Every structure is written in C-alpha cells, then in structure tokens.
Structure 1
Amino acid sequence: MIFKDVLSNSNSFRTFKTVTHCIFDLDGTILDSETMYHEVIKDVCAKYGKKYSQDLKGRMYGGTDRDICKSLVKELGLNISPDALESELEQMCLKALPRAPLHQGAERLLIHLRDNHIPVALATNSTERTVHKHVEARPKLFGIFHHMVCVTDPAVYRGKPYPDLYIVAADRFPDKPKPCKCLVFEDSNVGLKAGISAGMQVVLTPHRPLELRHARKATLVLRNLLDFQPELFGLPPFADTPQLNKIRR
C-alpha cells in the first residue's frame, strides 16, 4: 500500500490524550541504524555460507539480538550457537552502528522537549555496551535523556514486543507517571506492540512498508519526526522551523 494511503487511513478520526513524559526507541527512530544493522547481519550470515533473505529480514525487524540470533541459527541452520552468534554480531555492531546518522526530526524534537522541560527517556532492545558506544559518539544528544533502559538491564526480563522496557522506563522517572501519561516514539511493529502493551500512546514513524492493520493500532503514524505536532498531545508547540535547532556532538 502507498504510504500516503496508510497515513490517511490510519490517522483518520484519531483522538489524542495529553501526556507529560516521552520515551524513545533508539534504532530506526532516533538513529538511521536499522539498515546498517541488517547489513551486518547479512555479512555474518554470508560468513557461514547462508543468505539473509528479504523475507527473513522483514521478520527480524525490531527484535532483540538474542531473539534474532536464535531465529537465524534455527532457520538457516548456521554452524554456530546462538550465544556465539550474538557475541559476534555485537562486536561488529559496536564498530558500525555509532556511525549511523540521525533520522529526520529526531534531534529537533529532543532539543525542543529538553528546552521545554519535558522529561524524556530511552527504551531500546540494544545492549548496554552498544548504547554506551552511541553515547560516546554523541554525548550532548544522549545527555538529553533523563535515563536510558537497555534490554540487558537487570530489571528487564523480556525485550520488545513485550512491555517490560517501557514499564521500567516510566517507573524510573522521579515522579513515576502513569503509562497513559507517557508518549512512545517507535518505528517498528515490534516496538508498537511493546508500547501498546505498556498502556501508552505510540507515535509510529515506519521506514518499511506497513500494513494498514498494523498502522491502525498506532496512535499516530508519520513519515518522520519533522511532521510531529507536539500540541496534539498537550505538549508545547514548536516555535521554530524544521531547519533550526542543531546540537553538536
């Protein structure tokens, strides 16, 4: 389906609730790293003489490294254990992913929320080691987050599509907002399921073809974060143009 048709159909007749806190996914939402990530997976599979097909790739989007590695070993019959594959994948990602560019509108939105004293957190299926590399590459940008919750956090029992990451992220704000007061920003169906299961509204910015049945579950579907209107959710509106507000690393 053409993306504009998905937008018009999924966003029709929507109602939005006022929020006080925002929680962001990382890969594919803030960083344009999903493409790089799946290229790394493709290279790993090729190393073991296997092809990472488009069909398999589509089913892996948004998953944890652990779940992806288990699936790859099982479906492709890789001659390596899931644990060893996960370790190899993580080492390659640590080198590649911090070079990923920011998605359109992500930096502008984060700065806007910071300047208007809206608490923000990060909730990601990435490991703590990987996120640490991103923080090293962009310390000022990641310094905007009040806290960051990774899939390897001891308090997180299951990664997305389960709600654990978002529930823990909300609970770590000092004022412990109710889930309905938290707005989630996601790019994948896996993340969408996690946010909804946590009882939160979800703004979805998909970068792959999205079926209407999935889009309808989101609170709002956008082309990118430049199109986000904070006032729809009771947040302060932008006072600048999308070209403004840049932060140095």
Structure 2
Amino acid sequence: MGIKPVTHVLFDMDGLLLNTEDLYTELFQNIVSKYGKNYTFDLKMKLMGSQAHETAEIITSELDLPMTPEEFQQECQKGESLFANCKLMPGAKSLIEHLHKHNVPMALATSSGEDSYHLKVDKNHSEIFSLFPYKTFGSSDPTVKQGKPHPDIFLVTAAKFPERPAPEKCLVLEDAVNGVKSAVAAGMQVVVVPDTRIDKALLTEATQILNSLEEFKPELFGLPPFDD
C-alpha cells in the first residue's frame, strides 16, 4: 500500500505502548476459570480494541458465563491492580520523545476508560504519557459511541487537534486487527505492530506491518527522521 506524508500521529495504548495485553489475558482467564472456561486467543482477537462494556458483553456471551456483562466488569475491577506495574513496549519511549522533540502533533486514542488509564500509567509512566497533549479514553468518553473496529475513537481524537487535520494527514499506530479496521474506516493510514500469533492475512489493510516500534521510520511518512 502506498505511503503518503502525514502531519499528525495517533497512538493506541494497550499492546502498542504498554504490555497490558498479556495482563488482560491473565485477568480474564482468572475470572472465566471459575466457570471451567478458557479465554482463547481467538476470542481475544474478537475483542481487542473494544470498549469495556463491549468486551464484557462479548466474553459473557461467547463463553456462556452465568453472569451479566455488568457483573463481569465488576470482577475485572477487583483484579485490575495487576496493571499498575505494566511495562513500556520496546521503542515506545524513544518514539514518543522523538516526535515530541520535533513538535509533531500527537494524541493518545485508547479504548481504555480514564480510571483504567491512570491505573496503568500513574505509578511508572506519567512522565512519558504527559507528552500527549490530547487523550481520548474510549470506554468513558460519551462522544466515542462505538469501539473499534468502528472509526469513532480516531475521528473524535483527531478533532481535538486545533488544526483539525484531514483524516489522510493522520497516521495511526496500532497493534490489533480491530484497530487497523478502525483507522482505515476513519480514512487514516495505519502502521501495525501485531502480536506474533495474528495471521498477517488479517492485516492487509494496514499501510505497514512492523515487528516492533523500534523498526518505525518516521521519514517514510514525511516526519523528522531519528538522529543518527
């Protein structure tokens, strides 16, 4: 897919900047194990990028759990303390700092709710995340009507920039199939750093597929290159 110059960069968070996806797997498996169920990767694929209430609805329905989506969310909240010690993904810090240094407009577009965001960030990562002047928390923002793969979160986030960039001038950085679909639906280019278990055939809409953010070359998108 042809790469075109951009002016603004939108970042997903879970699985792209923070290693929370494995922690979500642990959290959800702990809950569903009580009912003799398994939280499989195929199920995980269906809900990556979903809002919290959508995730709860999908899991309780797919696994036929004897609990309501609201009860599932309550169980999740009891175990969310494990996110407090999540780690930054390789290349995340240097890329954010680089774009900030060169005054490239950036924003965070996460499906997490605001409380969940603070749980993951405040203890160890508040300084690096403070470099995002604009943040959208999909699960707690009423203007984000539908989660990924719908385009809402990226359109809402792009509208926060004072320049109001056209979608084609925005680059999305993602890790999930639903995130790629969301960005494409929003009319934006998207670079994806997927879990190695994801079939690349599901990512054909992505502008570029990388193994790590460390491989990202800003200059390909008309952005300032890393200093040698």
TM-score range normalised by the length of the shorter chain: over 0.9
1:139-178 matched pairs, under 5 angstroms: 139-151=126-138, 152-178=140-166
Mapped pair 1:216 → 2:198: no
**Which residue does the alignment assign to 1:41?**
28
1:25 touches 1:186 (CA, 8 Å); kept in 2? Answer: yes
Q: TM-score, normalised by structure 1?
A: 0.86
Displacement of 1:174 = 1.3
Moved more, 147-156 or 197-206: 147-156
Mapped pair 1:31 → 2:27: no
Cα-Cα RMSD: 1.5
**Which residue does the alignment assign to 1:132?**
118
Amino acid at match of 2:12: D
Matches of 1:123 and 1:218, distance apart in 2: 17
1:184 touches 1:202 (CA, 8 Å); kept in 2? Answer: yes
**Which residue does the alignment assign to 1:8?**
none
What per-residue deviation string (whole Å, max 9, x for no partner) do you get for residues 192-237 of structure 1? 0110001100000001333343222100100111000000000000
Amino acid at match of 1:154: P
Consecutive unaligned residues in structure 2, runs of 5 or more: none
1:100-111 matched pairs, under 5 angstroms: 100-111=86-97
**Which residue does the alignment assign to 2:40?**
53
Amino acid at match of 1:74: S
4+ runs deviating over 4 angstroms: none
1:230-249 matched pairs, under 5 angstroms: 230-240=218-228
When residues 142 and 233 of structure 1 are mapped into structure 2, their CA distance, relative to the original with a 3 A threshold, is same
1:146 touches 1:173 (CA, 8 Å); kept in 2? Answer: no
Matches of 2:179 and 2:40, distance apart in 1: 22
**Which residue does the alignment assign to 2:8?**
21
Amino acid at match of 2:101: D
Matches of 1:90 and 1:197, distance apart in 2: 31
Matches of 1:81 and 1:196, distance apart in 2: 32
Matches of 2:88 and 2:121, distance apart in 1: 13
When residues 184 and 97 of structure 1 are mapped into structure 2, their CA distance, relative to the original with a 3 A threshold, is same
Consecutive unaligned residues in structure 1, runs of 5 or more: 1-13, 241-249
Q: TM-score, normalised by structure 2?
A: 0.94
Matches of 1:134 and 1:212, distance apart in 2: 29
**Which residue does the alignment assign to 1:121?**
107
Moved more, 147-156 or 196-205: 147-156
When residues 49 and 30 of structure 1 are mapped into structure 2, their CA distance, relative to the original with a 3 A threshold, is same
> 2:175 aligned to 172, 183, 187, which one?
187
1:149 touches 1:165 (CA, 8 Å); kept in 2? Answer: yes
Displacement of 1:124 = 0.9
